[in-house]
Amino acid sequence: MNINIYYGGRGLLDDPTLYVLGKMEDVLKELRVQVKRYNIFEHKNEIATLPQTFKDADGIILATTVEWLGIGGYMQQFLDACWLYGDKEKIATTYMQPIVMSTTYGERDAETILTNAWEILGGLPCAGLCGYVEELQSFEVNKEYNLIIEKKAENLYRTISQKIRSLPTSNQAVKQSVFRTQQLELTPQESEQLSKYISDDTYVKKQKEDIEELASMFKDMLGQDKGREQNPFIKELESHFVPLDDFVARYSLIIEGIDKPLYIKVEDRDLLIQYGNEEQIDVVAKLSMDIMQSIVDGRMTFQRAFMTGEMTAKGNFKTLRTLDQIFPF
């Protein structure tokens, strides 16, 4: 028979729970039980993997100390890990005995919390042990207390060896209801692998760095897309540019829906196209986004748009007509 002990206290020298666990271990070893203790505070960086140690256990002891309120943070994290990553099929066949000693008020409540938690997880609870210890030395030398502890260890051994069952409880009904709400269904192997990853600080750090890198990359891509959307028609005009010798002109195309005008500067074979306001302009034209798109698609010309009134312009009209020569779509 194998029994694992999970201690959720802080490991203080005067912790009465440690004394109780020591006495129970002695009794269980006399009964030829293999006992292994896990001090959760020593595994605080790998709590998510602790539920995987249930594999070879026939029963477990959940032990904690009430120092001021509740079962303590380490035990709560361990139970959370059982809920998220534990093998529910294994838990369903595992007996659990709660051990709670208190130096203040609340040992019975804490014992009930451990029992309820194990039942909701689907496990098999055993009769637990709880008590209030005001002074550890007097507690240790009390023979009646020691006898009670020994009997609890014997009862745990008897319950597991005889596979004693208990009556159904409402917590089991709650378990069925709560389990149905889970959206992520994992096999025991997947749960074990996931819990190992989560407890690996290096892996988690690397994952965060990868996510940040991907986020930055997509942000840059979105920024580029946004930039292209804010600067339309430039690529089309540059690709269809046909230079004219001894020709110099400056155009300002005001396109509806775009904040800044499209500035086109032609000087012989040099071309500059950008969005912005410039002072020295030979021709100012105004047209809609659809008309401009029709022009670059080759379905319309600048001259035809002007003649039909779909584009208005002012300035040198000879220079305006030249637009169709230097940008033949």
Per residue, what are the HEC states of 84-113? HHCCHHHHCCCEEEEEEEECCCCHHHHHHH
Instruction: For residues 15 and 147, state if they share a domain.
Output: yes
User: Same domain for 240 and 220?
Assistant: no
Domain that holds residue 36: 2-199
Q: Which residue is associated with the tokens 């009769």? A: 127
Confidence at residue 191, expressed as pLDDT on a 0 to 100 scale: 63
d(CA 42, CA 183): 32
Final residue belonging to a domain, choices 150, 180, 199: 199
* Rounded (10°) angle between helices 188-199 and 73-85: 140
Contact predicate 289/258, CB 8 Å? yes
Which residue in the block uniquely carries the two structure tokens 């802080």?
A: 10
Whole-number Å distance between alpha carbons of 98 and 126: 8
One domain for residues 214 and 301: no
> Do 20 and 115 fall into the same domain?
yes
- In this structure, what CATH number is given to the domain that contains residue 311? 3.30.1050.10
**pLDDT given at position 227:** 44
| Domain identity same for 101 and 171 | yes
> What are 84-95's pLDDT values in tens digits?
888 888 999 999
Instruction: Based on the fold, state whether residues 211 and 320 are members of the same structural domain.
Output: no
pLDDT reported for residue 193:
62
Residues 45 and 157 placed together within one structural domain of the fold:
yes
Residue at which a domain ends, from 152, 177, 199? 199
Name the residue with tokens 């028979």.
1
CATH of the domain at 111: 3.40.50.360
**Which residues does the chain have with pLDDT short of 50?**
180-181, 183, 225-228
212 and 63 within one domain: no
d(CA 159, CA 139): 27
For residues 151 and 140, what is the distance between their CA atoms, to the nearest angstrom?
16
Would you give the DSSP letter of residue 261? P
Question: Does 314 share its domain with 179?
Answer: no
CB 276 within 8 A of CB 265: no
The predicted model scores a pTM of: 0.57
At which of 188, 208, 230 does a domain end?
A: 230
pLDDT digits (tens, 9 = 90+) for 178-226: 554 454 556 666 665 666 666 666 766 777 777 877 777 766 665 554 4
Say what the pLDDT of residue 18 is.
95
Partners of 215 in the beta sheet?
Answer: none
Query: Whose CA is closest to 132, among 112, 105, 98?
Result: 105
Domain count, the chain: 3
Contact 36, 4 (CB under 8 A): yes
Do 178 and 39 fall into the same domain? yes
Same domain? For 221 and 129 the reply is: no
The terminus-to-terminus CA distance of the chain in angstroms comes to 87
pLDDT value at residue 226: 45
Q: Are residues 80 and 127 in the same domain?
A: yes
